[in-house]
């Protein structure tokens, strides 16, 4: 299979279109020239016939001699042979003279009547030698007679010369269009070649490079902008992947290092059963944290690959938020934190109950986790303008304005949170954001350092 480059295809189509247009123009020009040439022959015939008619009016006695003389003249360059015939008003020959007397054109009675009424009758026939013979028949002598003049134009040098000139100019023009089309295609695609060379030099280590954009805002300019936008997104994605890998390694390394250290300490000397139980309990706690991080990573990986199947069903959010708040009331009591529901209207949505429970669980867990002793966590659920609005409010340590834009980033934990006695993996809010977006909702936060935070989730109701 022959594969043509874009440059070759552009050249081919340009040459074909130009050549087709030129051919059509040449054909029309040649036919126009032929038409004009044919009209000039008819004009010559009529002038010849009018001259004879005029001479007949001046001198009838010498008409035959005059006809004999002019019918044997060489004539114009396009009329090498001719004849002149005088007919009566019934079409019978009275007199004929010339080189081609045998080519006289008989007329029907209907044609004779039309000619006698003043019509000029033109006819082209082939003579005995196969050459075109153009004949005119006119009325003369006040309708008593007819005159018929015929010219043979066997070698029309003017038409042939004009045709050869058209063909020569057309050939030169097509060759010129081929070369010009090739040059124009090269000039048009030079920016593409430059973009290819620049893209070949961009590797994963240099994703900050961008294509050179020319001043002309054409299609190449738009393409370069699109590619630069794609490179920016790729750069951000690679940065996120690198940051994600580094953060994941850090988060996984910490519990693994703790478990390794605990086991090494346990093996250094013999201990009683109580010490071993404590070491195993600590290891189990770290394994639980490690397992939770791995599960969250797996969930986010499936979400990024769009391989997580969301099972939507009609559900009452009031039941979900009440169940989860009841679970946390026991945990919160240990820290002397009150968890209360200020308002819980019956609001129904179409969603995945497992994910919605995970969303509410993470938000309430964060609120309890980052609220100091004797603090409070309040929950509210109501319907507003066709949307379910859930509000999670605490008076805990809060979030600084500098950290607010990053709280939904993976593995991000604010400094205050890191200094607190928490063991989160920094993935909870990232998962919350994905769950909300997958249900076509929004999640927002308002917070002030040392004053607490308020998370608001808005989901379409049904």
Domain residues of the chain, as ranges? 6-159, 219-304, 313-460
pLDDT tens string, the chain, 462 residues long: the values are 567 888 888 888 888 999 999 999 999 998 888 888 888 888 888 888 888 888 888 777 777 888 777 777 655 555 567 788 888 888 888 888 876 656 778 888 888 888 888 899 988 888 777 778 889 999 987 778 899 888 887 556 677 788 889 899 988 998 998 898 889 888 888 888 888 888 888 887 778 888 888 787 888 888 889 988 988 888 888 887 777 777 677 667 777 887 888 888 888 888 888 888 888 888 888 788 788 778 877 887 787 777 888 889 999 999 999 999 998 888 888 889 999 999 899 999 999 999 999 999 999 999 998 998 889 999 999 999 999 999 999 999 999 988 888 888 877 766 544 444 455 567 889 889 999 999 999 999 999 988 999 999 999 998
Instruction: Answer yes or no: are the C-beta atoms of 462 and 424 closer than 8 Å.
Output: no
Burial of 418 (0-12, 13-18, 19+ CB in 10 A): exposed
Query: What size, in residues, is the chain?
Result: 462
pLDDT for 420: 44
Query: What pTM value is reported for the model?
Result: 0.54
Take residue 314 and report the two structure tokens written for it.
């009609």
The matching CATH number, chosen from 1.10.287.130, 3.60.20.10, 3.40.50.10490, 1.10.3720.10, for 219-304 is: 1.10.287.130
* Chain centre to alpha carbon of residue 286: 53
CATH code: domain 313-460 is 3.30.565.10
Fold designation for 6-159: Beta-Lactamase (3.30.450)
């Amino acid at each position: 299979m022959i594969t043509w480059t874009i440059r070759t295809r552009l050249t081919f189509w340009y040459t074909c279109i130009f050549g087709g247009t030129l051919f059509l123009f040449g054909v029309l020009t040649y036919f126009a020239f032929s038409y004009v040439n044919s009209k000039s022959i008819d004009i010559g015939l009529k002038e010849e016939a009018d001259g004879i008619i005029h001479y007949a009016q001046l001198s009838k006695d010498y008409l035959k001699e005059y006809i004999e003389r002019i019918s044997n003249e060489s004539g114009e360059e396009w009329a090498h042979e001719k004849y002149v015939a005088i007919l009566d008003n019934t079409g019978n020959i009275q007199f004929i003279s010339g080189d081609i007397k045998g080519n006289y054109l008989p007329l029907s009675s209907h044609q004779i009547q039309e000619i006698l009424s003043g019509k000029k009758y033109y006819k082209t026939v082939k003579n005995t030698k196969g050459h075109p013979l153009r004949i005119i028949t006119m009325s003369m002598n006040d309708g008593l007679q007819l005159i018929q003049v015929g010219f043979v134009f066997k070698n029309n040098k003017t038409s042939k010369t004009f045709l050869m000139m058209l063909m020569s100019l057309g050939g030169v023009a097509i060759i010129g269009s081929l070369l010009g089309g090739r040059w124009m295609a090269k000039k048009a695609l030079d920016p593409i070649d430059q973009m290819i060379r620049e893209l070949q030099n961009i590797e994963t280590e240099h994703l900050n490079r961008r294509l050179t954009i020319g001043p002309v805002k054409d299609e190449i300019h738009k393409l370069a902008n699109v590619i630069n936008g794609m490179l920016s997104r790729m750069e951000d994605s690679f940065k996120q992947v690198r940051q994600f890998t580094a953060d994941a390694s850090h988060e996984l390394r910490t519990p693994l290092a703790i478990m390794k250290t605990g086991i090494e300490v346990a093996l250094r000397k013999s201990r009683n059963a109580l010490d071993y139980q404590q070491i195993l309990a600590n290891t189990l706690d770290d394994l639980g944290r490690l397992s939770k991080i791995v599960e969250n990573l797996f969930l986010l990986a499936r979400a990024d690959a769009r391989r997580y199947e969301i099972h939507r069903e009609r559900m009452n959010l009031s039941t979900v938020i009440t169940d989860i708040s009841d679970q946390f009331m026991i945990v919160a009591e240990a820290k002397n934190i009150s968890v209360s529901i200020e308002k819980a209207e019956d609001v129904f949505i179409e969603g995945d109950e497992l994910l919605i429970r995970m969303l509410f669980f993470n938000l309430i867990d964060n609120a309890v986790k980052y609220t100091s002793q004797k603090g409070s966590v309040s929950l509210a659920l109501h319907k507003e303008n066709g949307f379910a609005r859930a509000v999670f409010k605490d008076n805990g340590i809060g979030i600084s304005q500098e950290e607010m834009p990053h709280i939904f980033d993976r593995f991000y934990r604010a400094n205050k949170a890191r200094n607190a006695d928490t063991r989160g993996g920094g993935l909870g809010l990232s998962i919350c954001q994905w769950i909300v977006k997958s249900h076509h909702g929004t999640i927002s936060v308002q917070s002030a350092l040392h004053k607490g935070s308020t998370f608001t989730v808005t989901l379409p109701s049904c």
